[in-house]
């Protein structure tokens, strides 16, 4: 199972007047974690494009269990949960000091052939290569 984590210190510009992180910024934190995970297999967005595919996000869900606050140090853990037909990543937001679970989420991306502008119904072989797996 491919996984990684990033630590984020919640900055002032991400919070509202009550010091709570605006809900849309969670997506940015997920993107930071997702890029860190993709870097581990040398298949981040530039490498995707060079391989002839783009992987747009087509689905996302965030469960806001507990709010994030200004200056809070959080850990965003990301796991590549599926790769055969799509890239599904699961996320867990935790307080870095207490380990308390704050938020759960997932995102789904699908491969689109750049040249044909067509979505693939199965992940291309390049993702298996990057993961060190065989799709045969």
pLDDT tens, 67-77? 999 999 999 99
Question: Domain 3-131 classified CATH 3.10.129.10?
Answer: yes
Alpha-helix runs per DSSP H in the chain: 25-40, 45-50, 125-131
Give CA–CA dist 92/75, Å, rounded: 8
pLDDT at 59: 98
Give CA–CA dist 67/18, Å, rounded: 11
On the question of pLDDT at 9 being above 60, the answer is: yes
Give CA–CA dist 41/124, Å, rounded: 15
What letter does residue 57 receive in the DSSP assignment? E
Say what the pTM is: 0.94
User: What are the residue boundaries of the structural domains of the chain, listed by start?
Assistant: 3-131
Helices and strands (DSSP H and E) totals, the chain:
3, 8
């Amino acid at each position: 199972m491919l996984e990684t984590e990033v630590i984020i210190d919640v900055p002032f510009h991400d919070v509202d007047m009550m010091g709570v992180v605006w809900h849309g910024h969670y997506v940015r934190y997920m993107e930071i974690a997702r890029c860190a995970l993709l870097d581990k297999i040398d298949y981040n967005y530039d490498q995707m494009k060079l391989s002839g595919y783009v992987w747009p996000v087509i689905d996302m869900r965030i469960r806001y269990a507990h709010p994030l606050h200004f200056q809070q140090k959080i850990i965003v853990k990301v796991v590549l949960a599926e790769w055969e037909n799509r890239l599904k990543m699961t996320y867990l937001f935790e307080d870095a000091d207490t380990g308390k679970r704050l938020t759960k989420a997932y995102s789904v991306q699908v491969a689109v052939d750049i040249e044909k502008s067509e979505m693939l119904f199965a992940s291309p072989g390049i993702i298996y290569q990057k993961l060190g797996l065989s799709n045969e």
